[in-house]
Structure 1
Amino acid sequence: MARFPGRPAGRPFADDYDARLVGGRPRAASAPAAMVGLRGPGSGYLRGLGRSLSPDDDADEAVQRRREAVIERLRTGWTRREAPELEVVQNDYGSDVFPVAGEILAATATWDDIQTEEGGAGLEVVPLGHPELEGRVVRLRQAVPGTNEDVRELVRSLQGRGHAVSMSYVTPLGGRPIMKPNSGEFAPQVADFPAYQAAGPRYGEGVVVAVIDTGVTQDPRSDGWLADVPRVAHDDASTAHDDSNIDPLDAEPRDGWLDVYAGHGTFVAGVVARVAPGAEIRVYKAVGPGGAGCELDVASALIRAVRDGAHVVNLSLGTQTLFGEASVPLGVALDVVREIEDERGSVSVIVASAGNYGDAVPTYPAAFGRVVAVGGLTAELRPTTWSSRGPWVDISTVGEDVVSTYVEGRQNPAFGSGAEFGENPFARWVGTSFAAPQVAGAIARTMTELGVSGPEAVNALLAAGKPVAGFGKALQILPGA
């Protein structure tokens, strides 16, 4: 197997992304970035650099207001033209999950079994609305309307009898709403970040990396960063979906502020570009700037990305489920991906953030065995309190104070300082959302540096990693702080 000869454990790229440098130039010392946080059951949140707060601090009224505001934007900041009713329910592990009210999803073969063994269980088929999954996933509702609790209990009952069914979930960015950058505190610290063209060797050249996220900002930056990322304008179709990959930043209902997750896709794409500046980055929109995207949208985008030729796919999103069950549509999408790979004779690598739940409960899609699950560490490659962890996490890297490309606009005071981002901004952000694209970029770089396939690059990085209990193999890629 290809290796990184002469490199210390956990540092496959040695000092190429040294903490003393920003994009290849020295950075002046500055105060740490401040961050505001959102906390739900089961994890800490950060306020200030690297300080974990105890559960008692969750009573803070300002934090609770922020959490409620984020949930409201999850309800309204949807990728579909007509948003369904969204529930907020605690699962069996005490964490918030976001099922679409009244919907049940099943693979087609599972539905055939339910019809045969359970007489349909009082369910009826409703339109799926996702051509990539037609004939493979069935969307169901109760024929005689009941309460949302009735639907959830029906799912639990069907699962107890061995049927692979689930609710239809929203997949929050990074696994759950947790941390938002505070622009007024840190934007000046990275004001002299260099132009993209001057960022050094073109690591990852010839590798296609797909980013499935909120989309990308419509107006290209004037400093060269992300200049080659294709922008697809909105169409005028009246259907539920269009092919646009543009992040609206302030989605309906517009309020004049950046939405809580506005710029997430632009930031993630910039992380990939920092690690693998030669890679071809393609951005697919499956999540709105409020942080809401249903599993069906994400699954469909995954299929499209692989069919379009992506060598590496990054998913900085995910969710726990009500009963610990695997995601039905994402599992089906992985089956479709395997079929595409068999036809073309090569295998794509799928990378996903492990989530920000602060526990060991599996988050999907990261917890699928086929997916490279990425956790978040401190700048010293030590465990964080907020990252999901467990034996299903493959690789971890720095997830605190990651620097990347951001978007113009003014931050909503409900989520931060209310400060304004100017032209060509760079920001710092915290979460497994920003650990995952480092690994995606590292895979792209390794493919070209060692001349190997995507899966072989993953194996080489795993072999180069340093074990950290609960976090798989730790890699130092980009610095934190």
Structure 2
Amino acid sequence: MDIESAGHALIRPGQLLTDRGALSTAARWTQAVSEGDGVCMVHLSQGVDPCELTAELREHGFRASPNHVLTGQPLFFGGPASRPFPAEPVHYRPGRSRSEVTVGLLDTGVAGHRWWADADWYEQAAEDAPDAVEGAQAGHGTFIAGLLARQAPGASLQVARVLDGEGVGDEAAVIRALHRMRGRPPQVLNLSFGGHTFDDRPPPLLADALAELSDTVVVACAGNTASDRPFYPAALGSVIAVGAVDSSERRRAPYSAHGSWVDACARGDWVTSSFLEQGEFAGYATWSGTSFATAVVAGTIAAAAHDRPARQAADELLSLRETRQIPDLGVLVPSSL
């Protein structure tokens, strides 16, 4: 896998993301340049450190970033957050009511499932973002789609695949997907993935791409890092960062990231939802992680947005006057699952 460690972050070696204005300054270190869907990627000459070049370009006022690797959460951390377990079928029947709300889902894609067999959005999703069927996290997007469907009945999903079957993607792929969403922006956007940056500073190009979706409420997982280190894109100021509480909905799940930058939390432990039909799985799984707490929060906002702007629904949900707080995790959003 084309990944290397840069300090305490993962990056694609030899790749740097920047705006077009920096190309002439970076030319002496450049082997090739590719551009498309809002991303200008510089392929660096052998031996050039993308982190060092990023720092130099930023000193000259350019927006630049290594191509950070982003992973679905629960990847890489042990305990109950590490893998899905087979589950008995969940008796859920989609209602006939329709909502005008669309929830964007950037993830591993969404596989077919009885819960949305007749949904209008799935045909387009299957064409645009086929599910990765091999890998430890192949069913990650399908699992999250089920949580969104149950939290926000009648809402449509707008699906883009940015993670492979192992739950791994990168900043460039996410920026491209966000760029393509600008023509038809969703009211709510679920991002159940992320990563650390090499310098713990916000990734500017990813922040720019999200800012272009100015009317979209972006909800992202705080990560399964069990630390207070900022995890992006969740730690961006414009994003609702979501941590996880345990099944009692009273205590922080031991794997959940936490800190002043986390805005909200929901149950992430031992959640059951839709899954792939393969191997020991018969279309359902139980899984744990901040990924799934994120879907609870995003779905709750989407449900409330059926009769008001999504941003108003989010503001009301996070109001300190009417909601319970969990220390270092923000507002608790109760799960209806």
TM-score normalised by length of structure 2 = 0.88
Work out the percentage of aligned pairs sharing the same amino acid.
30
2:233 pairs with 1:331:
no
Query: What residue number does 1:283 align with?
Result: 159
Q: Deviations over 1:96-142 (max 9, x none)?
A: x3211111222334x17xx5xxx5473327333432x0xxx432244
Conservation of the 8 A alpha-carbon contact between 1:107 and 1:332: no
Aligned partner letter, 1:454:
A
Q: Which residue of 2 aligns with 1:37?
A: none
- Tell me which amino acid in the other structure corresponds to 2:36: H
Measure, in 2, the Cα distance between the counterparts of 1:125 and 1:334: 29
> Relative to structure 1, is the Cα distance of residues 478 and 108 closer, same or farther in structure 2, using a 3 angstrom cutoff?
farther
- What whole-Å deviation, never above 9, does each CA across 1:318-377 have from its counterpart, x for those lacking one? 111111122233122124323xxxxxxxx1211111111111111111111111111111
Cα distance in 1 for residues equivalent to 2:217 and 2:34: 27
Structure 2 residue aligned with 1:415 = none
In the alignment, the residues of structure 1 paired with residue 292 and residue 278 of structure 2 have an alpha-carbon distance, to the nearest angstrom, of 21
Of 260-269 and 354-363, more deviation after overlay is shown by 354-363
The SS at the match of 2:265 is strand
CA contact (8 A) 2:63 2:205 kept: no
Q: How does 1:392-411 map to 2 (within 5 A)?
A: 392-410=261-279
One-letter amino acid of the counterpart of residue 255, structure 2: W
- Contact residue 317 and residue 355 of structure 1 kept, 8 A: yes
How many Å apart are 1:86 and its aligned residue?
Answer: 1.9
Is 1:128–2:30 an aligned residue pair?
no
Partner of 2:228: helix, strand, or coil?
coil
Q: Which residue of 233, 252, 256 maps to 1:365?
A: 233
Q: Which structure features the higher share of strand residues?
A: 2
What secondary structure is seen at the aligned counterpart in 2 of 1:435? helix
Which of 31, 42, 51 does residue 152 from structure 1 map onto? 51
What are the within-5 Å matches in structure 2 for residues 318-467 of structure 1?
A: 318-338=194-214, 347-381=215-249, 382-410=251-279, 420-422=280-282, 425-448=283-306, 451-463=307-319, 464-467=322-325
Matched, 1:244 2:128: yes
CA RMSD of aligned residues (A): 2.5
Larger Rg: 1
Change in CA separation of 1:349 and 1:215 when aligned onto 2, cut-off 3 Å: same
Distance 1:362 1:175, change over 3 A: farther
Q: Which letter maps to 1:127?
A: V
CA deviation after TM superposition for structure 1 residue 458, in Å: 0.5
Instruction: Could you tell me which runs of 5 or more consecutive residues in structure 2 were left unpaired when the two chains were aligned.
Output: none
Aligned residue identity for 1:363: F
Write the distance in 2 (CA, Å) between the matches of 1:142 and 1:171.
Answer: 20
Call closer, same or farther: CA 1:456–1:182 in 2, change over 3 Å: closer
Q: 1:159 to 1:407 in 2, by over 3 A?
A: same
Matched position secondary structure for 2:168: coil
Task: Indicate if the aligned counterparts of 2:16 and 2:67 stay in contact, CA closer than 8 A.
Answer: yes
Instruction: Tell me how far apart the structure 2 counterparts of residues 472 and 331 of structure 1 sit (CA, whole Å).
Output: 22
